[in-house]
Amino acid sequence: MDWPSLDYEQWSATCDTLHAHTQVLGKLAVALAPPEPQLQHAALRLTARGWETLPLPAPDGSGALVVTLDLRVHEVLVEHSDGRFRRVLLTPDRAVGEVTREVLAKVRELGGSVEIDMTPQEVWWSVPLDEDSEHKSYDADQVATYFAMATQAALVLAAYRAPFRGRSTPINAWWGSFDLAVSLFSGAPAAPPSRDFIMRNAMDAQEVAVGWWPGSPKYGKPAFYAYAYPRPDGFVPPKISPGAAHWEKSLGEYVLDWNDVVASKDPHGLALTFAGSALQHLCTVCGWDPALAESARGNPPPVS
């Protein structure tokens, strides 16, 4: 199926293992990439291989490193810009700690000394990544299905983002929350919701975020989501399209369940309708420049 489906409960053990592996890549990006606004330097990308870093400066100054979580052949690939590479296999019952230690050894072998924060981030467990012997479930068929789902979701987000004429992010693969997301910005600043490091650095500008996750303990279904930050006082979520979309009060977000998307005659079109409808309604209630919001429909503002 071009739009497969995978119940979160069915693959949650493998999902947690995969999530932990992405955190190693993300923490390498944090350690090596030049800092950017909204923590963009820490984000990964979903490519035709899987989750991947951007080119990262090698610690020894020898060039660039790219680390890929290859979900087609089930390995971590560490590549140097000079052509050298190393592989770390992902197999059933291979613990996150073992994989983490080997990946870091390969990175150091190719690019020099680097240290990362081993504390897992935004997850329910706390064992350091290089000591994690609990997370070792890795079902290759489930990973392949997840990757097919994530690829279709990323194509929706790319089409949604394309016409917008304001500042926007790439389609980020966030290793903390294990989701794909794109943020569109109005150009106005915003007060962060807390002094937490992530909040004060990632949420300091007015934005509408639309993304997709494969399910989580907070919401046990794969789904597209959308939210605005900051929301105005007295915010009442308007009804958006399609009819299957709903406001999930516990999350403070609009949600469109993946199974509702897959069941439609045009899954891509339905998901794109959700993203566009959420943006237009949230821009209206949050007071965005109408011309900027209209550009997301493919209608550029007039030339003055």
Q: How far apart are CA 153 and CA 96, in angstroms?
A: 26
What band does 223 get if pLDDT is binned at 50, 70 and 90?
A: very high
Q: Residue ranges of the alpha helices (H) in the chain?
A: 8-32, 96-111, 140-161, 197-202, 258-262, 267-285, 290-295
Per-residue confidence (pLDDT) for residue 202, from 0 to 100: 82
Average pLDDT, the chain: 95
Per-residue confidence (pLDDT) for residue 302, from 0 to 100: 59
Q: How far apart are CA 50 and CA 76, in angstroms?
A: 10
249-260 average pLDDT score: 97
Per-residue confidence (pLDDT) for residue 203, from 0 to 100: 86
Q: How far apart are CA 27 and CA 268, in angstroms?
A: 32
H-helix or E-strand spanning residue 180? strand 179-189
What band does 196 get if pLDDT is binned at 50, 70 and 90?
A: confident
The phi-psi region of residue 97 (left if phi > 0; otherwise alpha if psi is between -120 and 50; otherwise beta) is alpha
Per-residue confidence (pLDDT) for residue 227, from 0 to 100: 97
Per-residue confidence (pLDDT) for residue 298, from 0 to 100: 86
Angle 8-32/140-161 helices, nearest 10 degrees? 60
Q: How far apart are CA 214 and CA 219, in angstroms?
A: 9
Which residues are CB-contacts of 99 (< 8 A; sequence separation ≥ 6)?
21, 24, 76, 88, 90
Interval 2-24: pLDDT, tens: 899 999 999 999 999 999 999 99
Tokens of 175: 């290793």
Strand order, beta sheet including 179-189: 172-174, 179-189, 205-213, 223-229, 253-257, 246-248
Q: How far apart are CA 52 and CA 67, in angstroms?
A: 6
CB 49 within 8 A of CB 90: no
Q: How far apart are CA 102 and CA 216, in angstroms?
A: 28
262-284 average pLDDT score: 97
Interval 28-72: pLDDT, tens: 999 999 999 988 999 999 999 999 999 999 999 999 999 999 999
What band does 303 get if pLDDT is binned at 50, 70 and 90?
A: low
Q: Which of 161, 201, 206, 203 is nearest to 186 (CA)?
A: 206
Q: Collect contacts of 58-61 with beta carbons under 8 A, ≥24 apart.
A: 58/110, 58/111, 58/112, 59/32, 59/111, 59/112, 59/113, 59/114, 60/111, 60/112, 60/113, 61/112
Please name every residue paired with 225 in a beta bridge, in sequence order, or none if there are none.
211, 255
Does the pTM surpass 0.85? The reply is: yes
